[in-house]
Amino acid sequence: MSNLRKYKALYLISLPGIIYFIVFKYLPLLGSVMAFQNYNIFRGFTGSPWVGLDQFRRMFTYPEFLRILENTVLIGLYDLIFAFPVPIIFALLLNELRKVVYKRILQTVVYLPHFLSWVIIGGIMIGILSPTTGIVNQVLNAFGLKSIYFLGEDSYIRSILVGTGIWKDSGWGTIVYLAALASVNPELYEAARIDGASRWRQTLSITIPAILPTITIMFLLHIGNFLDFGFERVFVFVNSLNESKGDILDTYIYRVGLIDQQYSYTTAIGLFKSVVGLVLVMIGNTLSKRSSGEGLY
């Protein structure tokens, strides 16, 4: 009680956030019971019959679900390999700029796409990749190459999804790493310069080890959302021509759950995603603590 009285202002400030998580994060978890029912919207939770694990068995016996799970895993893996390092690299490059004006201008330019919705981003990219008026195909035509219908072929959709995400969010992601870089003691660089260390050696020996705990935390948060690639991000690009390799669990849940009204089945898929994310975070956190001593908890 003494701590409660001492820090009452802090507890009062945190109260809206606590209420938000209770109302929008924890209370909806009660709806997960639908995954074990043949849910009927008119009977509700209490009147719908229980079916146990039938929805999960159905999930793993559907060829369509297995194909979409493969798409989700591959796109998530590509995003982890190609998109996750970009904010780190960009933060390291920005940290090397000595002209403050150039640094601020560049930061502003790369941050701006984050504030655009995926509908706007999708419209911009569709225009850029258009087979008739898109600038990419105009460049190809200038070199005597044929136009490519990028969104009409399933071989390009995964690259488009990952690449667009890098363009939109990598600049915003650098904020965390720049904040971590700001806490590095400048005397370490001065001592390294006296010892004759180059800028590259200083980066390897001082900068990267200093932000490694931050990289670890961000990596664990990233793998926690491994199967949660984002509905809006994919929905604006996927169509009937590329959905064989672009359809993911989020768009599948929307189509089957909301449109086809198979609530119990898609709730089971959502619960499966959550459990996989939890397991990945726990495994990653354990390995991280054993190797570097850093972790989420």
Token code pair at residue 73: 């895993």
Please, what is the average pLDDT of the chain? Answer: 88
Residue 221's pLDDT is 85
pLDDT score for 19: 93
Residues whose CB is less than 8 angstroms from the CB of residue 268 and which lie 6 or more positions away in sequence, other chains included: 35, 55, 56, 58, 59
CA dist 291 and 288 (Å) reads 5
Mean pLDDT, residues 102-120: 88
Residue range 105-128: mean pLDDT, rounded? 90
Query: Is 230 within 8 Å of 251 (Cβ atoms)?
Result: no
Res 208 pLDDT > 70? yes
How confident is the model at residue 230, as a pLDDT?
Answer: 84
Residue 69 has pLDDT above 80, yes or no: yes
Q: What percent of the chain lies above the pLDDT cut of 90?
A: 24
Contacts of residue 128, defined as CB under 8 A and 6 or more positions apart, other chains included, come to: 134, 135, 136
What is residue 63's predicted lDDT score, i.e. its pLDDT?
Answer: 84
pTM of the model: 0.86
pLDDT band at 1 (very low <50, low <70, confident <90, very high): low
Query: How far is the CA of 50 from the CAs of 45, 55, 58, 265, in angstroms?
Result: 10, 10, 15, 13
Least confident of 47-56, 118-127, 288-297: 288-297
Tokens found for residue 42: 């008119």
For the chain, count helices (H), then strands (E). 17, 0
Nearest to 107 by CA among 177, 161, 204: 177
